[in-house]
Amino acid sequence: MNKDFRKILEDLHIQPRDLSFYRTAFTHRSILNERKDIKQSNERMEFLGDAVLSFVISSLFFKQKPNDTEGDLTNLRAYIIKTESLAKAAETLHLGRFLQLSRGEEQSGGRDSLQLLANTYEAVLGAIFLDLGIMYASRFIQKTLLPIFEQELKLGAPRDPKSELQEVAQHKLQVAPRYKIITTSGPDHAKKFSVGVFLNAKQIGQGKGSSKQQAEEEAAKQALTKLLR
C-alpha cells in the first residue's frame, strides 16, 4: 500500500493492520491482463463496500433523524449514495493516484473517471471494514463523505425528479413510471447511458448520463416537463 495513502488513513485516526486489503482495493481489473502476479481485482471489495455504506448511512440516519418518515430517509440516503457523490469524496482524498491500472486505462483517463473513482471509494471502505470492522468503516464515511452534504443533512435532500414523477404519474394516470436502458456506449471506465422512461408502454422522456442513475433523473425531468404543461 502506498505510504501516502497510509498517511491519509492515519490522519483520519484509522490505523491499518493488514495492508493486503488496501492493495486489493486499489487494483483495477484492467491490470490483471498485464500483471500475471496479481490475481484479484477490487470488484468483490467494491461489492462489500457498497453494502457497508448503505448499512452505515441507514443506521446513522435512523438514529439522528427520529422524526423523518421512511420516504424522507430513503430520499436522503439515495441523494448521498450516488456515483457523483462518492466520486467527489474519492477526488478529495486523491484516491485515483493510488490505483493500479493497465496502460490502456491510464492513457484513456481512467484515474479521473467518476464511475471508477466511486467504485474505488467503495472498495476502500470494504477494505477498512475487513481490516478493522464496522466502527472504523463508519468513521471513514462520517469524515470523508457526509461533510460534503452538511446543508442537506440539516434541511433534507432536494426534491428528487424520479420521486416527483412517481407522484405525478400516480395522481394523473394511476400508473408507475418504468425505466429502461436504451443504449450504452464508451469503455467501462467512461460509459455513457441513454435511458427512457415509460408510462403505459409509451415513452415520455429520455435522458443521458455517465451513470444509469443520472440518465434516469434526466429522463424523469423531461417527462415531468411534458406532464406538467
Residues assigned a catalytic role: 50, 122
Using DSSP's 3-state secondary structure scheme, residue 207 falls into strand
Secondary structure letter of residue 211 according to DSSP: S
* Contact call for residues 222 and 205 (beta carbons, < 8 A): yes
Question: Nine-digit cell at 145?
Answer: 463523505
Question: Nine-digit cell at 68?
Answer: 423523518
Residue 202 CA to residue 42 CA, distance in Å, equals 40
Secondary structure letter of residue 81 according to DSSP: S
* Contact call for residues 34 and 42 (beta carbons, < 8 A): no
Residue 154 CA to residue 58 CA, distance in Å, equals 16
CA distance readout (Å), 69 to 30, 72, 144, 158, 196: 43, 5, 26, 15, 30
Q: What secondary structure, in 3-state letters, does 19-37 show? A: HHHHHHHCECHHHHHCCCC
Type of residue numbered 131: D
Type of residue numbered 155: L
Beta strands in the chain (DSSP E): 178-185, 192-199, 202-209
